[in-house]
Structure 1
Amino acid sequence: METIKVNTTQHVDIDYPVAGLGERIAARMIDFGMLIAVLFLVAFVISVATLPKGNLIFIGLLVLYGIVFVFYHLIFEIFFNGQSPGKKLMKIKVISLDGGQAGIGQYFIRWLFRLVDFWLTGQIGGLLCVTLSEHKQRIGDLVAGTTVIKTIGRTTLEQIAFVPETEEYVPVFTNVHLLSDQEAELIHEVLTTYYKTAHYELVYAMADKIKARLGVNLPAGMHELDFLNTILKDYNQVTSAAQ
């Protein structure tokens, strides 16, 4: 699986799985299909409109559809965290290259460069750029400083479930017994959410709370995601041994 390494605002390098060309094409086709479905709905409404002002209805619906067609991707990406319906179904999303959520300006640049990626180049510009660029970016992504990643984590959820470690496993943080079952469950939920959505901000917040709770600092070379996974492993081991 191809990944992109981004340096977050906390100066932590995180590997994100990059969305492939096939997934991006499939998402685009889903979105296009939805727009076509809306067009048929508009045509149906127009065909059954028998009011005296039918021409006004016809013009109004066409204008409304034109607005939806033009701004479809921009609106969804801004208000739905980098995902259009097609991207949502394909489990991919737009992020900034710093690992965080893209800003409105970045979404706007991506949307503006759709003219170059798709319309002015007959759909070829964007496809070629995604195929040839290192991080699977279309021209709009390169200019906006964004890319498209998979929201399905590389690690399965079973790896962070409450399963005792092997007897040979030595806990790194020996005072994890100070945590409650509820706190351990919350860590599990944060990790589950991260592996589904790649929202690293939750990981930072949870890590800060656990560090304060246990009075520990991150060992050299360990970032927040590794820290929470280690805490959960340690908790599983310590609590299972105590039973």
Structure 2
Amino acid sequence: MEQFQIETAQNITINQNTSHLGERMLAYIIDTFIIVVYTILMFVFLASLEIDMGDQWAFYLILSLPAFLYYLLFETLMDGKTIGKGAMNLRVVKLDGSKPNFGNYFVRWALRIIDVGITSGGAAVLTILIRGKGQRIGDIAAGTTVISEKKHVSLKDTLLRELPEDYKPTFPQVTVFKDQEMRTIKELYDKARLNGNHNVIVSLDKRIKEVLGVQTALKPIEFVDVIINDYNYYTQKM
């Protein structure tokens, strides 16, 4: 799964997972199924009305609008999601991680005719594979991408971290912490970085320095990161 970097207002860089091509295809299948079912029900409804053939086109036009505007309506009203995207835990966001506006959604929707309509999805697949960042043509024009909101548990999500073989610790005092205490520190730190909450990191920095009785020129975000790495170094060596 590809990642792209987002820089928050506090100049903290975080990695965000782009959606997998297979996930987007499954979301598309779900959305297409819903549109097809709606269209069939619409035809059945029109047939049951037994209205004049000359007037049917007007009813068809009105009732077909939800299907025609499906992606634009749902992504705008559901914060970047359609029913299919919601089922696959996907969401449309801007490249800086912020919420798209109506103009962004409109550009994505308008260019679906090229991405999906004219090329039967070929242009979208090819662009996503070549371009990266989970972007089809509509995303590139709109400055958006589709991210996966699924939680992928890895070594970084636990207390443990992978360290270089030549890693040298800076603060041996970290061994005064217990596993649960360090796990809490890491969880708060990771969450603060993800949400761009610099105040939490500053508070962690201050509290850890008080407990360890150390001073350093490292920035708060760097200091807390080193503390977590040092703790991993000493606990893994035991």
Using structure 2 for the length normalisation, give the TM-score: 0.66
Corresponding residue of 2:111:
113
Corresponding residue of 2:2:
2
Say whether 1:219 aligns with 2:217.
no
From the superposition, tell whether residues 128 and 10 of structure 1 become closer, same or farther in structure 2 (CA, over 3 Å): same
SS in 1 for 2:221: coil
Structure 1 distance, partners of 2:55, 2:61, is 10
Displacement after TM superposition at 1:216 (Å) = 6.8
Please say which structure displays the higher CA radius of gyration: 2
SS in 1 for 2:15: strand
User: Can you list the C-alpha shifts for 1:139-161, whole angstroms capped at 9, x where unaligned?
Assistant: 111111111110112348xx68x
Structure 2 distance, partners of 1:68, 1:32, is 13
Q: Which amino acid aligns with 1:37?
A: V
Contact 2:100 2:144 in 1 (8 A): yes
Q: Which amino acid aligns with 2:37?
A: A
Q: Which amino acid aligns with 2:134?
A: K
Displacement after TM superposition at 1:222 (Å) = 7.0
- State which of 32, 53, 75 in structure 1 corresponds to 2:73: 75
Displacement after TM superposition at 1:2 (Å) = 2.2
Corresponding residue of 1:37:
37
Corresponding residue of 2:85:
87
From the superposition, tell whether residues 133 and 210 of structure 1 become closer, same or farther in structure 2 (CA, over 3 Å): closer
Displacement after TM superposition at 1:209 (Å) = 7.1
Q: Which amino acid aligns with 1:12?
A: I
Say whether 1:143 aligns with 2:132.
no
Q: Which amino acid aligns with 1:121?
A: T
Structure 2 distance, partners of 1:112, 1:77, is 13
Contact 1:46 1:57 in 2 (8 A): no
Corresponding residue of 2:126:
128
Displacement after TM superposition at 1:98 (Å) = 0.5
Displacement after TM superposition at 1:212 (Å) = 7.4
% same residue: 26
Displacement after TM superposition at 1:66 (Å) = 2.8
Corresponding residue of 1:104:
102
Using structure 1 for the length normalisation, give the TM-score: 0.65
From the superposition, tell whether residues 170 and 3 of structure 1 become closer, same or farther in structure 2 (CA, over 3 Å): farther
Structure 2 distance, partners of 1:222, 1:214, is 7
Say whether 1:154 aligns with 2:152.
yes
Q: Which amino acid aligns with 1:38?
A: Y
Structure 2 distance, partners of 1:20, 1:44, is 37
Structure 2 distance, partners of 1:170, 1:150, is 38
Q: Cα RMSD over matched residues?
A: 3.8
Range that drifts further, 211-220 or 87-96: 211-220
From the superposition, tell whether residues 43 and 212 of structure 1 become closer, same or farther in structure 2 (CA, over 3 Å): same
Say whether 1:25 aligns with 2:38.
no
From the superposition, tell whether residues 142 and 216 of structure 1 become closer, same or farther in structure 2 (CA, over 3 Å): farther
Q: Which amino acid aligns with 1:39?
A: T
Displacement after TM superposition at 1:12 (Å) = 1.9
Displacement after TM superposition at 1:49 (Å) = 1.6
Counting matched residue pairs gives 196
Displacement after TM superposition at 1:38 (Å) = 0.3
Contact 1:9 1:98 in 2 (8 A): no
